């Protein structure tokens, strides 16, 4: 094997569209309470305890793959010690561990797929692979290895054996014949039919039994998932129960297999067609490529690449869509502590995190607001694109995170940045009139599960309600902070590292409704999928197709969403459609309880009220308020306050035609009658 290939870490798939992750036979376990009283399995425990339970050795577990077949051609990188740290971007830092030593790297490299360009090496690797495959077979019934389960190296080997896992046979239970799981498609229809005929959804008694035994057998679950997916893929032909029963079973199995709570598994499952959903869940088990962004304030990409190559770093440009990104395959030195890093020549930054800034496209000498900016991956990129001119207000409400933001700004030599720490909802009161605003909103992180797997079990429905509400408030403030008369800009970019519709399309759609003076424009991003215009019975603004979605399984980058708005001057029409004071602010109690209403009836009243106020302010005569259901409802307010409110409401410019004629005798006495 050539030296380069030997030292080269399994290259992650190139950052291009439509990278196919095929389903792998990965097993998960470890008991985790999913907050709903159910016990789920997580990958860690599975690798030790579950393997033991099933009489499988760690060796076998180690060799289980979790990436697509493509990885054999030099793709894929395990969560191994040969990973590079990301001290810059704590959001993006999880899973970016430092390379510890050469030995680890070599062990790691030996276990991974090597340079596809080198045929000789590939052939040698294939041989090695066959050997591993034999070992795998032997280890199936071997006793559990006492060490090393769940370690980083284990994960590294994980990836290397992907192709092997793909071709493994899985022993099906209860006398069903051995079936090559991943080659099922290649076998004749007859075989498939035979298996499908025998596939039965578990009865409720069987499910009860499974629960009693601490969850279903993992191979059973795996098989069931495949079968459910196939039945759902051609339901007319294979379905013999209702579609929803198969869907329900599949979601439940996905949740236990990949270690999600059922609520989140279902939420994510519905984003995709069945087969693709499984690819998505599978891709969340695989770390994304390690990428860095050249800080053009301090270095040129070519010089930086050369300097790092001289240190033994194996890297390549990410792709044509970025001229500052580099993908790091392997590094003998911690990539977060090289002299170049310390001198601010680059930022460790996930590729997806470049996208909102590319969409924002700031120009020199502009005024830009980065509303939720810590730890500064995007701020420092904005600053660099502005060539240290103009001004970037880098805001974040979290004071602790502002420290790392400041540190990054200093290290990268950004001199045009003002750091501040306000709740984003205080803008534009704090300061407004920006040429561009980036709102990289706080979100659930469902796009970065491969970095933070805690998301799998710690997100509940209430979290999504609260987040979506906060995002809606922030986006209106972001829009209102833009100067619509900006000569060079007038744009807002909204992004999240989440893939849920509540946090993306629903937020953008809300902003379009509330601010008729903004419209969606092309993000300028060369790839990514169109945002939803319809989703599960909800219809969004047709222009939502201009927004972009990015997925781990499709683009080999973190799940991300990007929308770009152009803010235009308010016209009379837009003012009358929605006044500035139509922001629906949740009370603290509402936020705390999670019961916030964004129902359109309520919004309609607020909009009507705003219209009235605006017309009145312009001296127009306005019709008296129509009593609404809300107004008619009893209010538990002290009488004197009600009185005052009523006074206020009727304190309009008197106009003869509006003042009802009141018979003096009908008026209540203001003083007790004397005598
Ligand atoms: C997705 S992270 C931002 C990452 C950052 N843009 C970057 O590229 O490094 C979201 C940030 O929003 C901040 N945040 C949460 N609520 C906020 C609020 N109400 N106002 C401003 N910032 C907020 C969090 O502290 C967090 O740093």
Do 444 and 503 have their domain in common?
A: yes
Tell me whether residue 647 is annotated as binding.
Answer: no
Do 299 and 260 have their domain in common?
A: no
State pLDDT tens for residues 560-599: 999 999 999 988 776 676 644 444 444 444 333 333 334 4
Instruction: Give the pLDDT mean for 464-492.
Output: 98
**Angle in degrees, 0-180, between the axes of helices 218-233 and 274-283, rounded to the nearest 10:** 140
| Domain assignment present for 298 | yes
How far, CA to CA in Å, does 14 sit from each of 22, 232, 602?
16, 31, 48
Is the full-model pTM beyond 0.80?
Answer: no
Do 274 and 408 have their domain in common?
A: no
Do 131 and 278 have their domain in common?
A: yes
Angstrom distance (rounded) from CA 304 to CA 295: 9
Ligand 1 and 262: CB distance under 6 A? no
| Domain assignment present for 97 | no
For residue 48, the 8-state DSSP code is: I
Ligand 1 mean position to 439 CA, how many Å?
Answer: 8
Ligand 1 mean position to 444 CA, how many Å?
Answer: 12
**Encoding tokens for residue 394?**
């880098």
Helix (H) or strand (E) holding 517: none
Of 96, 103, 134, 148, the C-alpha closest to 6 is: 103
Instruction: Sort strands 169-170 and 179-180 into parallel, antiparallel or unpaired.
Output: antiparallel
Do 414 and 449 have their domain in common?
A: yes
Do 62 and 155 have their domain in common?
A: yes
Instruction: Tell me which of 171-185, 235-249, 420-434 is least confident.
Output: 171-185
Neighbours of 332 (CB within 10 A): 17
Instruction: Sort strands 39-42 and 29-33 into parallel, antiparallel or unpaired.
Output: antiparallel
Q: Which residues are CB-contacts of 375 (< 8 A; sequence separation ≥ 6)?
A: 88, 89, 90, 91, 401, 404, 405, 408
Q: Tell me if 503 sits within 8 A of 468, measured CB to CB.
A: yes
Ligand 1 mean position to 640 CA, how many Å?
Answer: 43
Ligand 1 and 424: CB distance under 6 A? yes
Angstrom distance (rounded) from CA 604 to CA 480: 20
| Domain assignment present for 672 | no
User: Is the pLDDT confidence value at 178 over 50?
Assistant: no
User: Is the pLDDT confidence value at 91 over 80?
Assistant: no
User: Is the pLDDT confidence value at 475 over 60?
Assistant: yes
State pLDDT tens for residues 242-298: 889 999 999 999 999 999 999 999 999 999 999 999 999 999 999 999 999 999 999
Nearest ligand 1 atom to alpha carbon 398: 25
User: Is the pLDDT confidence value at 666 over 70?
Assistant: no
Ligand 1 mean position to 374 CA, how many Å?
Answer: 6
Ligand 1 and 69: CB distance under 6 A? no
User: Is the pLDDT confidence value at 435 over 80?
Assistant: yes
Does 521 or 127 have the greater pLDDT score?
521
Do 321 and 370 have their domain in common?
A: no
- CATH code for position 404: 3.40.50.150
User: Is the pLDDT confidence value at 355 over 60?
Assistant: yes
Angstrom distance (rounded) from CA 7 to CA 245: 49
pLDDT band at residue 607 under the 50/70/90 scheme? low
Do 226 and 144 have their domain in common?
A: yes
The reported pLDDT for the residue numbered 190 is: 52
**Encoding tokens for residue 360?**
């924002």
Instruction: Give the pLDDT mean for 143-151.
Output: 27
Do 484 and 617 have their domain in common?
A: no
| Domain assignment present for 323 | yes
> What does the CA dihedral 401, 403, 404, 408 come to, rounded to 10 degrees?
140
Tell me whether residue 377 is annotated as binding.
Answer: yes
The reported pLDDT for the residue numbered 623 is: 75
The reported pLDDT for the residue numbered 44 is: 33
| Domain assignment present for 180 | yes
Of 438, 462, 549, the C-alpha closest to 498 is: 549
Angstrom distance (rounded) from CA 284 to CA 288: 9
Does 40 or 227 have the greater pLDDT score?
227
Mean pLDDT taken over the chain: 70
For residue 229, the 8-state DSSP code is: H
Nearest CA to ligand 1 atom 1: 442
Residue range of the domain that includes 418: 351-567
What residue spans of 39-89 are helical by DSSP H? 43-45, 51-53, 58-62
Of the candidates 299, 326, 348, which is a domain's last residue? 348
ipTM associated with this complex: 1.00
pLDDT band at residue 240 under the 50/70/90 scheme? confident
Q: Tell me if 79 sits within 8 A of 43, measured CB to CB.
A: no
| Domain assignment present for 329 | yes
Nearest ligand 1 atom to alpha carbon 473: 19
The reported pLDDT for the residue numbered 3 is: 35
- Give the end-to-end CA distance of the chain in Å, rounded to a whole number: 116
User: Is the pLDDT confidence value at 161 over 70?
Assistant: no
Of the candidates 567, 600, 622, which is a domain's last residue? 567
Active site residue 497: yes
Q: Which residues are CB-contacts of 211 (< 8 A; sequence separation ≥ 6)?
A: none
User: Is the pLDDT confidence value at 199 over 80?
Assistant: no
Ligand 1 mean position to 414 CA, how many Å?
Answer: 19
| DSSP SS3 for 456 | helix
Tell me whether residue 675 is annotated as binding.
Answer: no
| Domain assignment present for 94 | no
Ligand 1 mean position to 466 CA, how many Å?
Answer: 15
Ligand 1 and 82: CB distance under 6 A? no
Do 358 and 476 have their domain in common?
A: yes
| DSSP SS3 for 614 | helix
Q: Write the secondary structure of 201-212 as one string of H (helix), E (strand) and C (coil).
A: CCCHHHHHHHHH
Q: Is 470 exposed, middle or buried (0-12, 13-18, 19+ CB in 10 A)?
A: buried
Does 510 or 656 have the greater pLDDT score?
510
Q: Tell me if 25 sits within 8 A of 252, measured CB to CB.
A: no
For residue 642, the 8-state DSSP code is: H
> What does the CA dihedral 548, 553, 555, 558 come to, rounded to 10 degrees?
70
| Domain assignment present for 271 | yes
Does 145 or 464 have the greater pLDDT score?
464
What is the tally of structural domains in the chain? 4
pLDDT band at residue 468 under the 50/70/90 scheme? very high
Do 341 and 361 have their domain in common?
A: no
Angstrom distance (rounded) from CA 464 to CA 459: 8
| DSSP SS3 for 264 | helix
Do 324 and 377 have their domain in common?
A: no
Q: Which residue has the tokens 């796009």?
A: 447
Of the candidates 567, 594, 609, which is a domain's last residue? 567
pLDDT band at residue 356 under the 50/70/90 scheme? very high
The reported pLDDT for the residue numbered 448 is: 98
The reported pLDDT for the residue numbered 194 is: 52
Ligand 1 and 401: CB distance under 6 A? yes
pLDDT band at residue 203 under the 50/70/90 scheme? confident
Q: Which residues are CB-contacts of 443 (< 8 A; sequence separation ≥ 6)?
A: 467, 471, 496, 497, 498, 503
Of 331, 474, 353, the C-alpha closest to 408 is: 353
**Encoding tokens for residue 380?**
């420092």
The reported pLDDT for the residue numbered 292 is: 98
Tell me whether residue 217 is annotated as binding.
Answer: no
Ligand 1 and 440: CB distance under 6 A? yes
The reported pLDDT for the residue numbered 553 is: 98
Q: Which residues are CB-contacts of 201 (< 8 A; sequence separation ≥ 6)?
A: 228, 241, 245, 246, 249
Ligand 1 and 91: CB distance under 6 A? yes
- The residue to mutate among 353, 355, 373, 559, having the most atoms of ligand 1 within 8 angstroms of its beta carbon, is 373
């Amino acid at each position: 094997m050539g030296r380069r290939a030997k030292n080269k870490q399994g290259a992650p798939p190139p950052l291009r569209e439509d990278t196919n992750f095929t389903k792998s036979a990965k097993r998960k376990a470890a008991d985790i309470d999913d907050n709903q009283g159910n016990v789920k399995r997580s990958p860690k425990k599975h690798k030790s305890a579950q393997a033991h339970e099933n009489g499988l050795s760690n060796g076998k577990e180690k060799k289980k793959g979790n990436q697509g077949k493509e990885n054999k051609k030099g793709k894929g990188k395990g969560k191994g010690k040969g990973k590079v740290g990301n001290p810059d971007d704590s959001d993006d830092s999880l899973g970016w561990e430092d390379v510890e030593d050469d030995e680890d790297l070599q062990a790691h490299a030996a276990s991974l797929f090597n340079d596809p360009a080198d045929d000789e090496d590939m052939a040698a690797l294939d041989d090695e692979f066959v050997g591993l495959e034999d070992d795998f077979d032997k280890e199936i019934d071997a006793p559990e290895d006492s060490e090393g389960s769940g370690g980083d190296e284990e994960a590294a080997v994980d990836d290397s054996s992907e192709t092997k896992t793909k071709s493994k046979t899985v022993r099906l239970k209860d006398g069903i014949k051995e079936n090559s799981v991943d080659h099922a498609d290649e076998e004749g229809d007859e075989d498939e039919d035979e298996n499908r005929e025998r596939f039965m959804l578990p009865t409720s008694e069987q499910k009860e039994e499974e629960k009693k035994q601490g969850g279903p057998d993992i191979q059973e679950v795996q098989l069931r998932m495949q079968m459910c997916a196939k039945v759902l893929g051609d339901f007319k032909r294979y379905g013999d129960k209702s579609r929803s029963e198969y869907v329900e079973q599949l979601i439940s199995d996905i949740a236990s297999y990949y270690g999600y709570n059922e609520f989140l598994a279902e939420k994510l499952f519905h984003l995709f067609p069945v087969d693709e959903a499984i690819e998505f869940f599978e891709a969340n088990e695989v770390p994304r490529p390690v990428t860095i962004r050249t800080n053009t304030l301090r270095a040129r990409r070519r010089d930086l690449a050369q300097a790092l190559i001289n240190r033994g770093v194996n890297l390549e440009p990410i792709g044509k869509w970025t001229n500052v990104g580099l993908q790091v395959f392997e590094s003998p030195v911690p990539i977060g502590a090289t002299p170049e890093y310390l001198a601010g020549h680059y930022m460790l930054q996930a590729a997806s995190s470049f996208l909102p800034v590319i969409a924002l496209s700031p120009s020199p000498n502009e005024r830009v607001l980065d509303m939720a900016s810590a730890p500064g991956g995007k701020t420092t990129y904005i600053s660099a694109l502005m060539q240290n001119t103009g001004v970037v207000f880098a805001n974040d409400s979290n004071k602790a995170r502002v420290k790392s933001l400041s540190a990054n700004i200093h290290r990268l030599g950004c001199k045009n940045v003002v750091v501040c720490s306000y709740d984003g909802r205080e803008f534009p009161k704090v300061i407004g009139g920006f040429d561009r605003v980036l709102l990289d909103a706080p979100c659930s992180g469902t796009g970065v599960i491969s970095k933070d797997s805690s998301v799998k079990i710690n997100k509940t429905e209430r979290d999504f309600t609260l987040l979506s509400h906060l995002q809606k408030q922030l986006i209106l403030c972001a829009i209102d902070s833009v100067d619509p008369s900006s000569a060079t800009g007038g744009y807002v970019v909204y992004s999240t590292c989440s893939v849920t519709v509540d946090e993306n399309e629903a937020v953008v759609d809300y902003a379009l409704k509330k601010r008729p003076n903004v419209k969606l424009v092309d993000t300028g991003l060369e790839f990514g999928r169109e945002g939803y215009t319809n989703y599960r019975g909800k219809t969004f603004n047709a222009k939502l197709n201009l927004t972009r979605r990015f997925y781990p399984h499709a683009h080999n980058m973190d799940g991300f969403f990007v929308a770009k708005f152009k803010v235009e001057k308010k016209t009379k029409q837009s003012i009358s459609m929605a006044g500035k004071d139509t922001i629906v602010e949740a009370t603290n109690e509402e936020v705390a309880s999670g019961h916030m209403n964004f129902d359109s009836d309520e919004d309609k009243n607020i909009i009507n009220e705003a219209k009235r106020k605006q017309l009145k302010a312009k001296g127009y005569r306005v019709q008296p308020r129509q009593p609404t259901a809300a107004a008619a409802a009893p209010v538990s307010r002290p009488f004197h306050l009600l009185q005052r409110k009523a006074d206020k409401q009727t304190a309009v410019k008197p106009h003869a035609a509006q003042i009802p004629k009141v018979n003096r005798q009908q008026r209540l006495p203001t003083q007790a009658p004397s005598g």
